[in-house]
Structure 1
Amino acid sequence: MTVVATEGLTKRFGRVTAVDGVDLAVPAGSRFGLLGPNGSGKTTLVRMLLGLVHATSGSIEVLGSPMPRAARSVLPRVGALVESPAAWPGLSGRANLTLLDAAGAAGGLVNRPAERRRRVQDALEQVGLGGVDRRPVRAYSLGMRQRLGIAAALLRTPELLLLDEPTNGLDPRGIGEMRALLTALNAAGTTVMLSSHLLAEVETLCTRVGVMDAGRLVLDQDLDALRAPTGRVLVRTPDPDAAARALGRALESRDGDRLVVRAADPADLNAHLVRAGVAVVSLTPERRTLEQVVLERTGDGSDRVGRPGAAR
């Protein structure tokens, strides 16, 4: 079952094509990461999924219903954070969530004050704001605002979470906490779809990856399949000269005590080296990194998918 499906999805702003013929399928129960450089169309795509931007052409289904036509029945089942978190700056975080929860009562939430207080407190605790005081949101740090935005997305116990750059503004500990929270929510049945320009964030959290470039979806695949073994083995040995002689043409490259060897079976390779009297410190099957895959698919450019600290 897919919880998000698009076919030929296109959005043009005048002469600019922001999203270009995207066919996307997000499996239920997955943690789906949408990668791409700034300006690749990620945020526009997410906004179309939520009915905030109407497509020029193509179709969208979210939770099995067409969007934006079925927005009234679909959106109460979706939690979302798109771009910067929205809030009433003069109110506290708790007051903000209480007002949002009251608005959500029309979508089927219980309207009793005790239930509302419980939902708000649960959401605050989930994102690490359980002890939040009465300070207005305008006094919050960027990280606290981000946590509050994610708390708002969790108020309705959503079946689907759509998050745009969810770790923006968080410190390393906060990023780890958010990763643990999203993994736990996913394990409890929530499908998580996040967009990011940070490779490390997606590689650590997600089970499936989509890559956008210049408005097109250039890759959509399970992360395990993307990072399958390359058929090479990385060998470390205190006697690289003896290892090189024993390996012959199977040796592809060498850097000090580290050797890259073409080998179908690491166990057979290890046995061969041991029989040749070569000591082996470590022997690891080589896998492609997500960075290698993304760079292959997106080509060259000055504003590309990057590691933490790269320009947004």
Structure 2
Amino acid sequence: MSTRQTQRIDARPPSSGLVIETRGVTKRFGSHVAVDDVDLHVAEGARYGFLGPNGSGKTTMVRMLLGLVYATRGEITVLGATVPHRVADVLPEIGAMVEGPAAYPHLSGRTNLALLDASGPRRGRDGQRRRGRVEEVLERVGLAAVDRRPVRTYSLGMRQRLGLAGALLNRPRLLVLDEPTNGLDPHGIREVRDLLIELNAAGTTVFLSSHLLAEIEALCTTVGVVDRGRLVLEDALDAVRGPTGRLVVRTPDPDGAARLLGRAVAERHDHTLVVDAAPGGPSALARHLVEHGVPLDGLAEQRRSLEDVVVALTGPGSDTARDRRDRA
């Protein structure tokens, strides 16, 4: 399928269940088309991963959703409000972090959050409630022990956590995050992932833009893939990672299994064999192996990886493909 066409297996969800919907959104900067005729459909309660190589138009799209950049053409609706004309009506229900966290570098993280809360859409809170909310979000992002050091002394990971804390101040109904785990170590990435899953379970819709395949696969329920400004895939993650038609056999006797299965073996990796599906499915193959003295550690359907799908859609010249080659 051409990367100029959007793959979508499931039917389009009804507009009444969407918190973000775009129709034919395009953004031009002079002769450069950064976003090209994009239709997004983010359902309420989803964890939506907006994925694509660096420079593919992700951040421009996020900025248009928040009314920070105006579309050249097309329509945008967020939480039922047209953007940019009525975006101010729904900003109190949106938490956002775009292109890294913003802060006054000479002030502490706590002071930055207090100022943000005092000037934000819920600025009517009294001082005690404001301080309590600041401490609550610092705790949630792992910065509760932060001292009075100015933000300019923070590591990149600490700045990312502070930006996420700012996005959570208003207990948002919708979180819009651009590369929220940038600069975090593996432990921090897991903490942020667990926090976003927890917030989502409590009712917050999460829209997360990233180029990190593994994080999208670990966190999101729905994925949209953009390449060179075009949306080339939008679907549920489970549908994207569908079965390949082959079976994965794990056995302590791979030589015996390979001899028995012969040409049905498509791939072999140590004690794992990938084989063409047999008549009768996994149970029939398991019986066949065991009856011929081949012990099994496991047998399951092989499923496509998100990495394989994205690399196929975005082409060999993309950053995603280069990242994959670098890890090989």
Residues 9 and 133 (structure 1), Cα distance of their counterparts in 2 relative to 1, 3 Å cut = same
Match of 2:62 in 1: 46
TM-superposed CA distance for 1:285, in Å, is 2.0
C-alpha contact (below 8 Å) 1:34/1:212 kept by paired residues: yes
TM-superposed CA distance for 1:142, in Å, is 1.1
TM-superposed CA distance for 1:247, in Å, is 3.0
Matched, 1:94 2:124: no
C-alpha contact (below 8 Å) 2:53/2:318 kept by paired residues: no
TM-score by length of structure 2 reads 0.89
TM-superposed CA distance for 1:303, in Å, is 2.5
Residues 4 and 306 (structure 1), Cα distance of their counterparts in 2 relative to 1, 3 Å cut = farther
Distance 1:172 1:186 in 2: 21
C-alpha contact (below 8 Å) 1:79/1:153 kept by paired residues: yes
Unaligned 5+ runs, structure 1: none
Instruction: Answer with 222-231 or 250-259: which moved more.
Output: 250-259
Instruction: Answer with 142-151 or 225-234: which moved more.
Output: 225-234
Matched, 1:298 2:314: yes
Residues 149 and 253 (structure 1), Cα distance of their counterparts in 2 relative to 1, 3 Å cut = closer
Matched, 1:56 2:52: no
3-state SS of 2:37 partner: strand
Give the alignment partner of residue 82 of structure 1, picking from 98, 109, 124: 98
1:37-61 CA distance string (max 9 Å, x none): 1110000000000000000000000
TM-score by length of structure 1 reads 0.93
Distance 1:310 1:160 in 2: 35
Distance 2:259 2:152 in 1: 67
1:169-204 CA distance string (max 9 Å, x none): 111111111111111101110001111111111111
C-alpha contact (below 8 Å) 2:315/2:321 kept by paired residues: no
RMSD, aligned CA:
2.1
3-state SS of 1:181 partner: helix
Distance 2:304 2:42 in 1: 23
C-alpha contact (below 8 Å) 1:253/1:260 kept by paired residues: yes
Matched, 1:188 2:202: yes
1:102-161 CA distance string (max 9 Å, x none): 112xx3454211111111111111111112211111111111111111110000000000
Counting only pairs closer than 5 Å after superposition, residues 1-312 of structure 1 correspond to structure 2 as: 1-104=17-120, 107-240=121-254, 242-254=256-268, 257-263=271-277, 265-304=281-320
C-alpha contact (below 8 Å) 2:223/2:234 kept by paired residues: yes
Distance 1:245 1:10 in 2: 56
